[in-house]
Amino acid sequence: MKDQIKNQKFSYKNQVCLGLGSNIDPERNILKAVELLQNIFHLAGISSAWESFPVGSNGPKFINAALNFNTDLNLDKLKREFLIPVEAQLGRVRTSDKYAPRTIDLDVLIWNEEIVDPELVKLPHLAVPVAELSPGFRPFRGTETIEEIAGVLNSNKALVFCPEISQKLRELFRS
């Protein structure tokens, strides 16, 4: 039975690139989020983990990563029935302060090769992980690739590579 499933061809109509971020117990929450998502979706790729300063606040540093998967769900249903519940399961509390610390933040960055979050091309903590997964992606059908954009955004080396968390993410992805 397992071999039949393994050899079965799956065709999903929607490609998703999801950004993950946490600055409350970030290692635990990023890893747990990936584990939960992996139980729901067949992950196609996962980036390394990167530490960044928070945007818009003086809170604790964030750990960020990105992952790719395919789904037959539409974007609204994906968010409503899966992403928001995973955030809630990990203790995410939404407040009026959009920059408040959080246990987990799951944001669809790219949907079927279209940018959903325009901050992707403005913030290194979003662009760098995505560039690892899809270096040749051309945002807004432009001439620059996401890899080139990420290089410029992180030219001051504001992001710090997290080798231990990255290794754990790779191990989770392989399991």
| Cβ atoms of residues 91 and 23 within 8 Å | no
> Could you give phi then psi for residue 14, rounded to 5 degrees?
-120, 130
Cβ atoms of 126 and 109 within 8 Å: the answer is yes
Q: Tens digit of pLDDT for each residue in 149-159?
A: 999 999 999 89
Tokens of 46: 């996962």
Q: Is residue 39 a contact partner of residue 85, using CB atoms and an 8 Å limit?
A: no
pLDDT digits (tens, 9 = 90+) for 51-104: 999 887 788 999 999 999 999 999 999 999 999 999 999 999 887 777 788 999
pLDDT per residue over 6-39, tens digit each?
444 445 799 999 999 999 999 999 999 999 999 9
pLDDT the model gives residue 106: 97
> What's the confidence (pLDDT) of residue 67?
97
CB contact at 8 A, 129 and 66:
yes
Q: Is-above-0.85 flag for pTM?
A: yes
CATH 3.20.20.70 fits 11-112+161-174, yes or no: no
Q: Which of 3-12, 42-51, 118-127, 149-158 has the lowest mean pLDDT?
A: 3-12
Cα gap 57→152, rounded to integer Å: 23
- Asked if the model's pLDDT at residue 161 lies above 60, the reply is yes
Are 87 and 81 spatial neighbours (Cβ–Cβ below 8 Å)?
no
Count of beta carbons in the 10 Å neighbourhood of residue 96: 5
**CB under 8 Å to 36, separation ≥6 — which residues?**
86, 89, 90
Average pLDDT, the chain: 90
**Where in the chain are the domains?**
11-112+161-174
User: Which pLDDT score is estimated for 11?
Assistant: 53
